[in-house]
Structure 1
Amino acid sequence: MKNFTSTGDIVEVTAPANVSSGDIVAVGGLIGIATGDALSSARVNIKTTGVFELAKTSAQAWATVGLAIYRDNSTGLATSVAAGNKLIGVNLAVAANPSASGTVLLSQPFSLSSAAQVTAEIGA
């Protein structure tokens, strides 16, 4: 196939802010996890697929596998709160309140646009 350029699981983007390796990075409709550190406006590789242990809002209990998970636009942490935040994927393991991290399967926002669609897609 002569028009294939990449698998797309790691892509280079312009960092929207200073990022550290493992941070959630949102660029337009694209979500990924930084593979290294980068200053704002520098180029950084992000991993767009996979399962990640992500820093989360500690005071939340993620009690359901398949729960829609978002990137908190004010803190950069993973959260179960949809309002004003960007969908990044679904929860894969129960996380207590309090806990510093949770296990998230990334899903690009263009393929999972709402919590209802997440539930429909995973059959929960």
Structure 2
Amino acid sequence: MEFLVAASIGILTAVGVYLLLRAHSFPVIIGTVFLSYAVNLFLFAMGRLVIDKPPIIDKAATAYSDPLPQALVLTAIVISFGMTALIVVLALRGYLETGTDRVDGGRDDDAPVIDRAGERP
């Protein structure tokens, strides 16, 4: 089971880094989402998850799971959702301003040039 979790974290990280290195904005956004998934899985794995144990300390419970990784992952999900929404808006604004969705400032040779009014010159 540990190998499966470690392999999935590694694969998600590799895919996220690969997509971050692409030249267009949509793969970069998807790459950040994959990296946030990898970080969330890493936080869960670091918390030593146990099955069928309560996340609170109780005198009746013989063992319990650590609630800190669960709280960290819930917080990370909310933050990554907000950051993804911000990045999408910034990418859309950059596309409307420049007429291309490249993140390195270059131009596509086959992409149509569109001015601010939405018309081709």
Pairwise TM-score range, normalised by the shorter structure: under 0.3
So what's the TM-score if we normalise by structure 2?
0.19
Q: Bigger radius of gyration, 1 or 2?
A: 2
So what's the TM-score if we normalise by structure 1?
0.19
Higher strand share: 1
